[in-house]
């Protein structure tokens, strides 16, 4: 499982920046083809702390 944690409160979906790091994007594609699952969550951020938020849509073709 690849787990991505978005440390922002204003995101609705997650995608890779393949234009910035095509090597990572290619390795990710190989991992997915091999059956690796992708999970993504956001954070709830307050002055008191940071907590795991809800699931975020993974928008990767």
- Looking at residue 54, its pLDDT comes to 94
Domain that holds residue 51: 2-58
The total number of structural domains that make up the chain: 1
The greatest distance separating any two alpha carbons of the chain, rounded to the nearest whole angstrom, comes to: 41
Q: What is the pLDDT of residue 37?
A: 96
Phi, psi dihedrals of residue 8, rounded to the nearest 5° = -145, 165
Q: What is the CATH classification number for the domain harbouring 30?
A: 3.40.1350.60
Structure token digits, residue 42: 């956001």
One digit per residue, pLDDT tens: the chain, 61 residues?
A: 999 999 988 899 999 999 999 999 999 999 999 999 999 999 999 999 999 999 999 998 7
Question: How many C-alpha atoms does 25 have within 13 Å on its Cβ side?
Answer: 10
């Amino acid at each position: 499982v690849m787990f991505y944690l978005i440390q922002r409160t204003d995101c609705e979906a997650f995608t890779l920046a393949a234009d910035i790091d095509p090597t990572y994007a290619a390795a990710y594609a190989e991992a997915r083809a091999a059956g690796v699952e992708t999970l993504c969550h956001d954070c709830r951020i307050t002055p008191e702390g940071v907590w795991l938020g809800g699931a975020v849509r993974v928008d990767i073709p």
